[in-house]
């Protein structure tokens, strides 16, 4: 099934001409239409806008590593062409004036912004509508609940999330996908609603480590760093975990148990000479 392709496989097929972005995005949208009512992974989805981006990608030469590949974006991350409601009814009509730096980066690499994934309100405790795709009685974990559930349910191959305490690795464990949390200050937080800036990090949800490396290579190429942190050349040790998708029932006020395996991986940092910002805060 096309919608079950990893981002790496999809990108390779698109480059070779064996797959079009329109076919891939259409398959993902069909999966969303079939499952979204039960799973509730998406805060905002505009099929016409997604297909317009895909058609543009198919008409043009490759722009980068993610050309034609759809990605989900957590709803606290700004997108110029979609609402960013921060998981709150208060900001339901909020329209950012520009993309977050991480969104600008993947767009520049050819990615298709498929839609905005559900977050807990303000990336804090109030849960959204998302349920665990493996068992709808269970929690997907938070706060990056929609991103984890959407990737786990084959609605999208990759998605952005964020973490202050465990908002990436917990939903990754609950939903049985890979969750990547970068080192502090390694990836730009420009355009991402802050919770605790000294602890906030951007991250990635995917169904393979290769896909995480693929997305992680894009900000490195575009030299994105946090505007408030001193940029230096260093090694970057990160947590990459894959859960087994088991959790307890979603009971408000109770913590769900989960089981996950994890390992550390080392990815190269980029030199100081390449550090700059590409988007205002």
The Cβ-side half-sphere exposure at 157, using a 13 Å CA radius, reads 28
Residue 198: predicted pLDDT: 83
Residue 243: predicted pLDDT: 62
Residue 244: predicted pLDDT: 58
Nearest partner of 263 among 181, 166, 144, 148, judged by Cα: 181
Per annotation, catalytic residue among 21, 23, 144, 167: 167
Whether 57 maps to a domain, the answer reads yes
The tally of domains found in the chain comes to 1
What distance in Å separates the CA atoms of residue 41 and residue 119, rounded to the nearest whole number? 9
Whether 38 maps to a domain, the answer reads yes
Q: Which two tokens mark 10? A: 């999809």
Residue 183: predicted pLDDT: 87
Whether 29 maps to a domain, the answer reads yes
The H or E element spanning position 211 is: helix 209-222
Task: Note down the domain range covering 191.
Answer: 2-274
Whether 79 maps to a domain, the answer reads yes
Whether 279 maps to a domain, the answer reads no
155-166: pLDDT as tens digits: 999 999 999 999
Residue 99 near residue 279 (C-beta atoms within 8 A) = yes
Residue 270: predicted pLDDT: 32
Whether 281 maps to a domain, the answer reads no
Whether residue 116 lies in the annotated active site: no
Per annotation, catalytic residue among 21, 143, 188, 223: 143
Assign residue 239 the CATH number of its domain: 3.90.1300.10
Per annotation, catalytic residue among 8, 21, 23, 74: 74
Whether residue 167 lies in the annotated active site: yes
What distance in Å separates the CA atoms of residue 230 and residue 141, rounded to the nearest whole number? 32
Given a cut of 50, the residues of the chain with pLDDT beneath it are: 222-239, 247-281
In 10 A of CB 241, how many CB atoms?
18
Residue 245: predicted pLDDT: 58
Burial (CB count within 10 angstroms: exposed 0-12, middle 13-18, buried 19+), residue 35? middle
Whether 280 maps to a domain, the answer reads no
The pair phi, psi for residue 61, each rounded to 5°, is -65, 160
Residue 234: predicted pLDDT: 34
Whether residue 23 lies in the annotated active site: no
Q: Which of the 8 DSSP states describes residue 221? A: H
118-170: pLDDT as tens digits: 999 998 888 899 999 999 999 999 999 999 999 999 999 999 999 999 999 99
């Amino acid at each position: 099934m096309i919608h079950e392709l990893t981002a790496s496989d999809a990108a390779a097929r698109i480059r070779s001409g064996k797959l079009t972005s329109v076919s891939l995005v259409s398959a993902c949208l069909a999966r969303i239409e079939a499952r979204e009512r039960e799973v509730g992974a998406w805060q905002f989805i505009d099929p016409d806008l997604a297909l317009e981006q895909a058609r543009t990608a198919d008409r043009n030469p490759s722009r980068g590593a993610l050309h034609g590949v759809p990605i989900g974006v957590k709803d606290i991350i700004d997108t110029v062409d979609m609402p960013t409601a921060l998981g709150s009814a208060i900001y339901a009509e909020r329209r950012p004036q520009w993309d977050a730096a991480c969104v600008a980066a993947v767009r520049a690499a050819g990615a298709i912004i498929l839609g905005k994934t559900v977050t807990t309100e303000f990336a804090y405790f109030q849960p959204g509508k998302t349920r665990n795709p493996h068992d709808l009685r269970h929690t997907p974990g938070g706060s990056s609940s929609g991103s984890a559930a959407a990737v786990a349910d084959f609605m999208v191959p990759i998605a952005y999330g964020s973490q202050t305490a465990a908002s990436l690795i917990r939903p990754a464990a609950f939903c049985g996908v890979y969750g990547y949390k970068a080192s502090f200050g390694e990836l730009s937080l420009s355009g991402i609603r802050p919770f605790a800036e000294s602890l906030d990090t951007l991250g990635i949800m995917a169904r393979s480590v290769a896909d995480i490396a693929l997305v992680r290579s894009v900000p490195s190429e575009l030299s994105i760093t946090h505007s408030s942190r001193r940029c230096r050349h260093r090694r970057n040790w990160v947590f990459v975990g894959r859960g087994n998708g088991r959790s307890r029932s979603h009971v408000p006020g109770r913590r769900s148990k989960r089981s996950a395996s994890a390992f550390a991986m080392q990815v190269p940092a980029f030199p100081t000479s390449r550090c700059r910002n590409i988007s205002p805060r």
